[in-house]
Amino acid sequence: MRRSVFSGTLFPLALVLFALAGVLSCKNKTAAADGVKRTEAEAAAKPLLEIKEKLFIAQTNDIYLNPEEYMGRRIKLQGMFKTDYYTGNEEPYCFVLRYGPGCCGYDGTAGFEVKWADDDRVYPAEDDWVEAVGVLDSYDEDGYPYIYLSLSSLTVMDERGAETVLN
């Protein structure tokens, strides 16, 4: 029997591969990769892109697949605040994300790494529902390009949205 990529446990793998392809495709295509930082003034000249629950995964995937079209653009999204530590780093990697579909509920995630533009970092609690507004930028680490939101604001929200999104 032939299985569709969107059935069973293959969908989360496909989701991860799409995101990875987007990250890798932005190498050498952005000004940030050439050492030029994005500015809030540049971002203000472009319209704010608000990523909402409907089409959350589709919009975030499009950004990862076509990062050159979104670099320097202000983006607003809501999701859970998550942190992760990797070997050799004292500072955590911070993310705003939502869970994607899958057989076990937590098979995939969609969202962005977030970084503060200044040193006034106030980390929300793990799993707090936050609204992030920032400029899409990129950096290289260990020879690999990554995209992230350079935060202009990160606000803890009282009302939570859908933690798991389907599209």
**Local confidence band at 86 (pLDDT 50, 70, 90 cut-offs):** confident
Task: List, in sequence order, the alpha helices (H) in the chain.
Answer: 10-25, 40-44, 56-65, 67-70
* Sign (positive or negative) of CA dihedral 123, 118, 112, 131: positive
Report, as an integer, the average pLDDT of 133-143: 95
- Are the C-beta atoms of residues 157 and 90 closer than 8 Å to each other? no
**What's the pLDDT at 103?**
72
More confident residue, 65 or 142: 65
Three-state DSSP class for residue 44: helix
**pLDDT, tens digit, 9 for 90 and up, residues 144-166:** 999 999 999 999 999 999 999 98
Q: Please give the class, per CATH, of domain 10-156.
A: mainly beta
Report, as an integer, the average pLDDT of 115-138: 92
Amino acid at 167: N
**What's the pLDDT at 42?**
62
**What's the pLDDT at 25?**
41
pTM (predicted TM-score): 0.71
Measured between alpha carbons, how far is 12 from 6 in angstroms, rounded to an integer? Answer: 8
DSSP output for 71-101: TT-EEEEEEEEEEE--TT-SSPEEEEEEE--
Is residue 67's pLDDT more than 50?
A: yes
**What's the pLDDT at 34?**
42
